[in-house]
Each structure stands twice: as C-alpha cells, then as structure tokens.
C-alpha cells in the first residue's frame, strides 16, 4: 500500500471512532447489531492491511464473556477495548505514513558521500554545511615553497574573480582535520589542486573531489611529467608564479559552472 491508501484507512478508522462516540452519547446500551457493524468495518480494513503484508493488524473477535448476562447487549468493557484497538491502529498507520514520507524524501535528496564526516544534530541526522558559491578549496603541498606559490600565483587569481578560499595544506590528517576537509569540500564550489611533488594531502583532496563530482582545476610545474591521464581543460602547467597567476585567471571563470 502507498501513502494515499494508508491515509484513506486512517480516515475510515477515525470515521468509525466518530460513529461509536456518537452512538454512546445517544444510547445507554450497545446492542449487538450496532457493534457487529463496527466490528465488520474494522475487520474488513484489517484484512486488507494483512493481505498487503506491510503492517499486521489484529482481527477483532467477540467471545461469550463480552455479552451482557442477558445476551441482549455488549459489555462496555468490550466496547472500550475495541475503541482502544481501533485507536492504536490509527497511531500505527500514521507512523507508517510518516515513515513512507521520510523514505520518499530520502530518495529525492542526494546524499553526500562525505556525509559520515558531517556534524550531527540532536536527532542524529547529519548537518550539511551550507553551500559557498564564492569559495574554492585549494589543496597544496605543505611547506614554505608551495605556500609562496599560493600567495603569489593562486590567491591573486582567485581575488580577481571575487573568490574566497579554504587552504588545505596540512601534511597529515587526524580525524578532526579530515572532517574539516570533507565539510569544506562539500560546501565549496570547486577545487584547485597543485600536483607539484604529488604530495599525499593533495592527492587525497583530489580523490575526494573527483569522487564527489566537484569541478577540479589541476596545477603542476612545467618541469614535472604530467600525472597519468589527468590532463584536461582544467590543467594548468606553469613555470613561475607570474605565469601561474595569468594562466589560472584565464581558465578560472570559464571552468567554473555558472
């Protein structure tokens, strides 16, 4: 059964409860004919649910002790038990409806492969960092030489495009640093990786970027052999910081999706 069918059964059960409530207000005794009508309505719905096998619902049956000593009416204790049974099934069906709605939402929302690195709220659900359209993750090798290349060649090119950045230049990662990298990677618009020296931290960021579908721009010094088959339209070969700034500035805007 789908959400609409469950919702219809909830409506039917609530209508049944309203019938019972109205009857009890207007009658001192519950006669078998009226109770059998309620019972049949409930049991027919229960059989539908049980045949669907999505949720199991008990069939309600009367026993001889449920009748009054004269046999002309149904004991109020039995009526109360029946009302509780119907009300409980309404609660269960509403839970099933909410469960199916959440499952439908989960299918529509693309989960990030980095989800396990996100912070979590009180309900345990991952809290995705907000998207930063003007922010670029830049992965460079650790050390002063790579930092100077960034400051003189990469950072000015970003600033001319009005872009901010997150600099990933740690040589090693503990759990906290890896978590921060993944969160920044998820929120940033694109990734720039300086492959010069093939530093482990840069290659890690590169793999995560490709794995999550982020646009990637690769940088590498002209003296180094191109790494594998990575040469593409976002591959910048440079000699010094001046030509790196010029080449990166020219490729940055058209390479990023609008």
What string of pLDDT tens digits covers the 258 residues of the chain? Answer: 888 899 999 999 999 999 999 999 999 999 999 999 999 999 999 999 999 888 899 999 999 999 999 999 999 999 999 999 999 999 999 999 998 888 776 665 556 677 777 777 777 777 777 788 899 999 999 999 999 999 999 999 999 999 999 999 998 888 888 888 988 999 999 999 999 889 999 999 999 998 888 899 999 988 888 876 665 557 888 889 998 888 888 888 665 655
Residue 156's contacts (CB-CB under 8 Å, 6 or more residues apart) are 245
Q: Where are the beta strands (DSSP E) in the chain?
A: 119-120, 126-127, 132-139, 164-168, 188-194, 216-221, 235-238
Is residue 20 a contact partner of residue 90, using CB atoms and an 8 Å limit?
no
Q: pLDDT at position 11, please?
A: 95
The rounded distance, in Å, linking the Cα atoms of 191 and 203 is: 12
Residue 247: CB atoms within 10 A of its CB come to 17
pLDDT of residue 255: 59
Measure Cα distances from 143 to 75, 147, 173, 190, 199 in Å: 85, 6, 15, 23, 11
- 251 near 245, Cβ under 8 Å? no
Residue with token string 């001046």: 242
**Residue 138: both structure tokens together:** 């830049």
Task: Give the pLDDT score at 154.
Answer: 95
pLDDT at 110: 58
Q: How far apart are CA 110 and CA 144, in angstroms?
A: 39
pLDDT the model gives residue 70: 93
Residue 236: predicted pLDDT: 86
Residue 195: Cβ-neighbour burial (10 angstroms; 0-12, 13-18, 19+): buried
pTM attached to this predicted model: 0.54
Q: What is the pLDDT of residue 111?
A: 66
- 180's enclosing H/E stretch is helix 175-187
DSSP output for 89-151: HHHHHHHHHHHHHHHHHHHHSPPPTTGGGSEE-TTS-EEPPPPEEEEEEEE--SSHHHHHHII
Q: From CA 10, how far away is CA 164, in angstroms rounded?
A: 53
Q: Could you say which DSSP state residue 64 is in?
A: G
List C-alpha distances in Å: 63 to 34, 69, 120, 164.
Answer: 16, 13, 52, 76
| Residues linked to residue 74 through DSSP beta bridges, in sequence order | 30, 67
């Amino acid at each position: 059964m789908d959400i609409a069918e469950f919702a219809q059964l909830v409506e039917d059960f609530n209508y049944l409860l309203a019938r019972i409530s109205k009857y009890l207000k207007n009658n001192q005794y519950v006669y078998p004919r009226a109770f059998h009508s309620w019972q049949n309505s409930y049991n027919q719905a229960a059989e539908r649910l049980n045949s669907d096998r999505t949720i199991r619902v008990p069939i309600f049956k009367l026993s001889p002790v449920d009748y009054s000593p004269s046999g002309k009416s149904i004991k109020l204790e039995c009526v109360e038990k029946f009302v509780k049974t119907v009300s409980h099934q309404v609660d269960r069906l509403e839970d099933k409806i909410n469960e199916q709605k959440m499952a439908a939402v989960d299918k529509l929302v693309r989960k990030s492969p980095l989800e396990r690195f996100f912070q979590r709220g009180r309900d345990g659900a991952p809290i995705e960092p907000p998207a930063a359209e003007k922010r670029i993750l830049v992965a460079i090798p650790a050390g002063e030489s790579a930092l100077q290349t960034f400051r003189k060649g990469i950072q000015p090119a970003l600033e001319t495009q009005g872009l901010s950045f997150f600099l990933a230049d740690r040589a090693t990662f503990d759990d906290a640093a890896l978590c921060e990298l993944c969160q920044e990677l998820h929120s940033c618009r694109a990734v720039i990786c300086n492959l010069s020296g093939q530093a482990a931290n840069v290659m890690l960021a590169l793999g995560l970027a490709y794995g999550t579908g982020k646009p990637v721009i690769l940088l590498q010094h002209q003296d180094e052999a191109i790494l594998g088959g990575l040469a593409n339209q976002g591959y910048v070969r440079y000699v010094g910081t001046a030509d790196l700034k010029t080449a990166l500035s020219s490729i940055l805007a058209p390479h990023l999706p609008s």
